Amino acid sequence: MAQVISERRDVEFVLHEQFQVEELSKHERFADFNKKTVNMIVGEARNLAIKELLPIWKEGDEQGCTFEGGKVTVPESFKRAYDLFNEGEWLAMNEDPMWGGQGMPHVVSQAAAEYFNGANYPFMMYPGLTHGAGKLVETFGTDEQKTLYLKKLYSGQWGGTMLLTEPCAGSDVGALETIATRNADGTFSISGSKIFISGGEHEMVENIIHPVLARIEGAPAGTRGISLFLVPKYRLKEDGSPGEFNDVVCTGIEHKMGIHGNCTCSLTLGGKGECIGTLLGEENKGMAHMFLMMNEARLLVGMQGFACASAAYMYAVDYAKQRVQGANLTKPKDGGVPIIQHPDVRRQLLTMKAYVEAMRSTLYYVGLCRDHMHTAETDDEKEMYAGLIEILTPVAKGYVTDRAFEMCSQAVQVYGGYGFIEEYPVSQLLGDCRITLIYEGTNGIQAMDLLGRKLGMKKGKIFMDLMGQISKTVAQAKEVENLAPFAARVDNSLKKLGEVAMHMGKTAMSEKVLNAFSFAHPFLDITGDVVMAWMLLWRGVAAAKGLEKAKKKDLAFYEGQLKSLDFFTGCVLPVSEGKMEMIKATNEAIMDISEDSFIC
């Protein structure tokens, strides 16, 4: 069985032919990142992923994490991999070198992240959350907090988490009960319990820094009264090194469907009244501050789900080319053939191919938008790219993980009965992928965010900006003779999406608001479908250029890009347009049915 996680040729195609990342090096900020350097970085990431992270993925799943006496033990092999990861300075790829970062473009780090997460995303949760905690400190921390924490977080010497969820406050964060009491020295005593904390306790690092949401005594109820605090596992000595234990106690870990290599902890803070934290940012602004980490985490979750789908697709293709079962339908007397010759298997593989390619481009594009925010020449341009990130985040997290799980399931189906057996990798990918639809805001919440916040943001401007960017690609594709039919299909779906968006916006602001939100998830689906079609059309434009000068070895790749576009616009968009008509009808049965009509 081949050790495969991502299609290297396609990664290079997105970076250099679709998005032309070497153009970023013309800007002073990214001057060091020419094409040769980018390829070297991505190549090194791939090597580390294949040689070090992938071999311990299965072992991590089988060993899992153990809990005993308040201590958590992670899979034995993870410590060496964690040290190698940190030695390569991969944790803070995009961050300022003055704090230990590498300052590379986000779109390049997306490629590295795909390899890392495709190889072993349960492992990658440890550095991923650490980076998010560091970003909070960098953005909202005082000079003293940055000096104490930032380099040690960005280097991976210390770990990081995010402490939001509580037994009575899951998606409704405003219901949290953790309390912060003022101390005379300006610190706060923290008391409460948190659950579902990824990487909340382990021994791979000498200290773990917990950004904690809590309510200062007397603060307003709900999210308006939440503040953010830095709570280290070990308090810091005057020289900044870890000192005495800070009364952050792990009370247990969860036994889960997947991601067994990552510990999901329950933590009690201040059980003995000795948990001390410092305010991070402004009082009562904790929820707004934490959204910085949450939005980063949502994009990371989209990458996690996609990386599972990418790996699953690669495994499925490899298996389908080798597995001999049944005769070719047109040559029944010739004996068994590889199952990739069977029409239904080819349908599954092409479905996976199209979605994986479109999802890759979407996630990389969000990274590219971040880079363009730095290279933008005007405030209006910078604002546009910031808006595109906002509108695409629920797509990149919600839609992508929905489709990623479906693609993992398709891979299991390609394997047949063997796909259900844990000896083969696709079953673990399916189990690992499932949580991505849930954590960092369920996909239902992502849909509500798209409809309730992002659609009307800035009076609809950012949604119109997204449609404008798609229209630019449509116009380019119409100038290419063999792409014109596909461009017309995408254009038609885009116009219908605009009609549905107007309908949903009006309905959400009427007395039928609940009916509108009952179709929020289908609205996310159709928005995602059009975004995927956009990315495949954009790829088609790049592939058409590539074909003009392609060598024989590249012909199949470029032709395959056009087949993905043909399939998606011909077989997926018509279904999407049917969903659009369904949404415009806004059937009221969902909200009209009585609760008693649901069987208990």
- Positions annotated as catalytic residues are 440
Q: What is the 3-state secondary structure (H, E, C) of 184-212?
A: CCCCEEEEEEEEEEECCCCCCCCCEEEEE
One DSSP character per residue, 583-596 reads: HHHT-SHHHHS-GG
CB 441 within 8 A of CB 298: yes
In the 8-state DSSP scheme, what is residue 256?
A: -
Strand 71-73 versus strand 66-68 pairing type = antiparallel
CA–CA separation, 110 and 15 (whole Å) = 10
Give the DSSP H or E segment for 534.
helix 520-548
The amino acid at 391 = I
539, 561, 568 from 482: Cα distances, Å = 13, 13, 16
Give the distance, in angstroms, between the CA of residue 306 and the centroid of all CA atoms in the same chain: 7
Residue in this structure with the two tokens 């889960």, named with its chain if needed: 256
Other CB atoms within a 10 A radius of the CB of residue 374 amount to 15
Strand 208-216 versus strand 159-160 pairing type = parallel
User: On the CB side of 244, how many CA atoms lie within 13 Å of its CA?
Assistant: 4
CA–CA separation, 269 and 168 (whole Å) = 16
In the 8-state DSSP scheme, what is residue 169?
A: B
Other CB atoms within a 10 A radius of the CB of residue 201 amount to 26
Give me 71's structure tokens.
């201590």
In the 8-state DSSP scheme, what is residue 14?
A: I
Which one, of 133, 226, 108, lies nearest residue 173 by Cα? 226
Strand 242-245 versus strand 276-279 pairing type = unpaired
CB 247 within 8 A of CB 275: yes
Which one, of 226, 415, 232, 244, lies nearest residue 314 by Cα? 415
Which one, of 464, 510, 515, 500, lies nearest residue 579 by Cα? 500
Other CB atoms within a 10 A radius of the CB of residue 219 amount to 17
CB 403 within 8 A of CB 481: no
Give me 403's structure tokens.
């489709």
CA–CA separation, 6 and 413 (whole Å) = 20
